[in-house]
Amino acid sequence: MSKWLDMLRHQYNYLLADRFDWWEFNRCPINACPLVCSIAEPREQPEYYGQKRSLVSLKAERDWYKDIHADVLQDMVKRVDLALTRFIKGDSNGKRSGKPRFKNKNRYRTFAYQRVKPDCIQGNRIELPKLGKIKLIQHRPIPDGFTLKRALVTQKADGWYVSLTLEDVSVPDSPVIDKKPTEANSIGVDAGLEYFVACSDGTMVKPPKFYRQAEEKLSKLQAKREARKKGSTARRKLNERIAKLHQQIARQRQQWHFELAGELVDKAEVVFVEDLKVSNLAKRNKPKQDNEGKFLPNGQSAKSGLNKSFADAGIAGFLNEILPYKAARAGRLVIKVNPAGTSQHCAICLNRVPKELSDRWHDCSCGVSMPRDLNSGILIKKVGLGVRLTIKRESGKSRRRSLHLPDREV
């Protein structure tokens, strides 16, 4: 299977390069003809079917490619096509991805069978075409009435995994959830660092610091690895241990997220969350220079610590993917609201109570006193239910800029 991945990756990169080359040689700026421009008739643009046909000659020239199942090879061609389509045209929502990358060993870990036999799992073995019968630990039984469709084989830090796609034609598509949010059936959820979530009903959940805990272990291992010679067996083994530790952290976090999402969805029919833009979170602060061109502190080092915690807490993934997924399964609704002002206003009297990032408590002249995140949670619910906040944009922005703080509140 490792050999297959290697061969598939080489061919993937080759076909991708072929696509790029065509663009490179058949394009020219409007006002100048570059030296690399094609002078002959442009050759036919490589596309999916053409590249698929090229597999025949590939197998003739390099007969070791015959070892790979034809289905798996074709799926690799499809991946090239998909990567290019997402780059040029975008996906079904018109959202474009970045330029496809050439893949190294660490970035090419999966191959796929488009079809597998419905009875390919027999006892504790799975039969994959050309690979034969392979021992398997089955995570859960295949439910009645479903037939097996695709099989994806992935190499992970601790072994090989196969994911199966199932189909049951009698199961309807996910129904459209139509719920009217009211005061009684909804909650507002503020996500942050101090409290991972703070809900309008008063629930506050601290984030588990899996990563920070594991970090010490990780840095010890990394220091050990640096002491070993490159290419040595000891170093390779340490690399494996580090990869496994990363995997463990990711799994712990994911499980915790799913459990928490389940708890939130149980609370109310409609969950209001802030509309979080991921790209803003991870952005680096702009360099700052004084009049003589000397670089001034721009707050990046403080923010790097913040970014790390963000990566740790995985807030965006939780709000944008896991929570909506859990809600849809339970027939509940997640609605995103504009977070502007939700940390700067009082949840009870709606007056503006300016705060710095470091102010963790909300005190208002109307007598309200509670944790800042709880205040935001309640406000997010109110905004979701239609309350409008008066936001003085300019003053807020310039104040934050002068403090070199990120534009987003946490």
Tell me how crowded residue 81 is: count the other CB atoms within 10 A of its CB.
18
In terms of Cα–Cα distance, which of 136, 167, 137, 163 is closest to 152? 163
Task: Give whichever of 227 and 366 is closer to Zn ion, judged by the CB atom.
Answer: 366
In terms of Cα–Cα distance, which of 287, 279, 283, 317 is closest to 303? 283
Task: Give whichever of 11 and 375 is closer to Zn ion, judged by the CB atom.
Answer: 375
Task: Give whichever of 26 and 351 is closer to Zn ion, judged by the CB atom.
Answer: 351
* Residue 149 to residue 327: CA distance in whole angstroms: 26
Task: Give whichever of 323 and 346 is closer to Zn ion, judged by the CB atom.
Answer: 346
Task: Give whichever of 207 and 377 is closer to Zn ion, judged by the CB atom.
Answer: 377
CB 148 within 8 A of CB 117: yes
Footprint on this chain of Zn ion (rule: CB under 5 A)? 346, 348-349, 364, 366, 368
CA distances from 207 to 89, 204, 260, 370, 407 (A): 39, 10, 10, 19, 23
Task: Give whichever of 171 and 349 is closer to Zn ion, judged by the CB atom.
Answer: 349
In terms of Cα–Cα distance, which of 122, 126, 124, 115 is closest to 162? 126
* Residue 5 to residue 160: CA distance in whole angstroms: 12
Q: Is the dihedral of CA 214, 405, 257, 369 positive or negative?
A: positive
Residue 364: CB minimum distance to Zn ion, A = 3
Residue 389: CB minimum distance to Zn ion, A = 13
* H/E segment holding residue 265: helix 233-267
Task: Give whichever of 309 and 375 is closer to Zn ion, judged by the CB atom.
Answer: 375
* Residue 394 to residue 389: CA distance in whole angstroms: 15
CB 193 within 8 A of CB 313: yes
Residue 363: CB minimum distance to Zn ion, A = 9
Residue 351: CB minimum distance to Zn ion, A = 5
Residue 373: CB minimum distance to Zn ion, A = 16
Residue positions counted in the chain: 410
Residue 202: CB minimum distance to Zn ion, A = 17
Task: Give whichever of 129 and 371 is closer to Zn ion, judged by the CB atom.
Answer: 371
Residue 347: CB minimum distance to Zn ion, A = 8
* Residue 168 to residue 145: CA distance in whole angstroms: 6
Q: Is the dihedral of CA 20, 21, 26, 31 positive or negative?
A: positive
Residue 201: CB minimum distance to Zn ion, A = 19
Residue 279: CB minimum distance to Zn ion, A = 33
Task: Give whichever of 83 and 383 is closer to Zn ion, judged by the CB atom.
Answer: 383
- The separation between the first and the last C-alpha atoms of the chain, rounded to the nearest angstrom, is 45
Give me the residue label for tokens 């597999």. 55
